[in-house]
Structure 1
């Protein structure tokens, strides 16, 4: 169900060992992946040091963007679950003192956004 869930716009929890292998060039020597979620080709990765958003671009996915957000820089975050007319759930992340969210992630499932919000809360609130 993980692949099907990802194709439907739901984030699916991913094997952390595989993600660590994929991000070998991005991670620092002592950094470990604590949890990861895949969304079609993209990844939301929680390490013991930061949040990494991996955005594969283009038809082949060869071009990849890695957005790194240290947990200490996250000032707040917001979860908006889906409703009757608005079917998408959202997670918004603010950095330091910015007025607008630095990142807005959309999901088709409340379960996905709640699981990611829990991982984010655990990382930021430590």
Structure 2
């Protein structure tokens, strides 16, 4: 079901050891992964210091953008759950004084968007 969920756009939790290998060149000393989710090819990673969004682009996925958002710079976020006719959930993240959201992540089901929202709330509110 994990692969099927990923193909449908649902976030599925990923083992920390796999993510640590993939982000070895990105993580700084003493930075630890708290939670990681895979969304088709992309990753949403919560560390003890920041939120990392890995956006794999192109057909091969070799071109990769690493977005690093320190928890202290997140001013607000919102979660919109899916409805009867709108099958997608959205997580929006605003940074400092931004008018528009800096990130908009879409999910096909509500299942892990609430877990991601809770992790984000804990990280931002404890910072």
For this structure pair, what is the TM-score category when the shorter chain's length is used for normalisation? over 0.9
CA distance in 2, matches of 1:2, 1:24: 24
Q: Report what 1:59 is aligned to.
A: 59
Q: Report what 1:125 is aligned to.
A: 125
CA distance in 1, matches of 2:87, 2:12: 18
CA distance in 2, matches of 1:122, 1:2: 25
1:122 Cα deviation from its structure 2 partner? 1.2
RMSD of aligned alpha carbons:
0.7
Q: Report what 1:82 is aligned to.
A: 82
Unaligned runs of 5+ in 2: none
Q: Report what 2:101 is aligned to.
A: 101
CA distance in 2, matches of 1:23, 1:2: 21
Number of residue pairs aligned between Structure 1 and Structure 2: 126
SS in 2 for 1:93: strand
Q: Deviations over 1:29-48 (max 9, x none)?
A: 11011000000110000000
TM-score (norm 2): 0.97
Q: Deviations over 1:20-70 (max 9, x none)?
A: 111000000110110000001100000000000001111111110000000
Unaligned runs of 5+ in 1: none
Q: Report what 1:4 is aligned to.
A: 4
Structure 1 moving runs of 4+ over 4 Å: none
Q: Deviations over 1:59-118 (max 9, x none)?
A: 111110000000000000000000111111000000001111111000001112111111
Q: Report what 1:92 is aligned to.
A: 92
